[in-house]
Amino acid sequence: AQSVTQPDIHITVSEGASLELRCNYSYGATPYLFWYVQSPGQGLQLLLKYFSGDTLVQGIKGFEAEFKRSQSSFNLRKPSVHWSDAAEYFCAVGAALYNFNKFYFGSGTKLNVKP
């Protein structure tokens, strides 16, 4: 069965420090992979996506993610975190079911940024 695991429920980093959020998935074929960000009381905003090709993808707000097939991972990174990055981050896998792309979401990682 398809699933997405985000092992870290909460992460705290200092402003200016680097960030890596982990995401592991279980899926039999090559998945579509996504990272979304959610501010409190808001909807989800797409940060970046991977469908195929270059395994290092660039997104908005200076984020990037790397697809590693051998590790079934799609970790999100940012070299220098800003206070405005404090939010909850969700990893998602799109699994093709007939002609429907069903999304499986991880349970999220809350990022806290220390000044």
Partner 1 sequence: DGGITQSPKYLFRKEGQNVTLSCEQNLNHDAMYWYRQDPGQGLRLIYYSQIVNDFQKGDIAEGYSVSREKKESFPLTVTSAQKNPTAFYLCASSFTEETQYFGPGTRLLVL
Query: Does the protein bind partner 1 through residue 63 (CB under 8 A)?
Result: no
| SS3 of residue 10 by DSSP | strand
Nearer to partner 1, 43 or 53 (CB): 43
For position 96 contacting partner 1 by CB under 8 A, the verdict is yes
109: three-class secondary structure by DSSP: strand
Contact between 52 and partner 1 per CB under 8 A: no
What distance lies between CA 22 and its chain's CA centroid? 7
- Please tell me whether residue 49 binds partner 1 under the rule CB under 8 A: yes
DSSP 31-77: PEEEEEEE-TTS-EEEEEEE-SS-SEEE-GGG-EEEEEGGGTEEEEE
Using CB under 8 A, which of the segments 14-22, 57-65, 75-83, 103-111 binds partner 1?
103-111
Identify which of 65, 67, 68 has the alpha carbon closest to the alpha carbon of residue 19: 65
Under the binding rule (CB under 8 A), the answer on residue 108 touching partner 1 is yes
Task: Give the shortest CB-71-to-partner 1 separation in angstroms.
Answer: 21
Residue choice 12, 26, 45, 84 for contact with partner 1 (CB under 8 A): 45
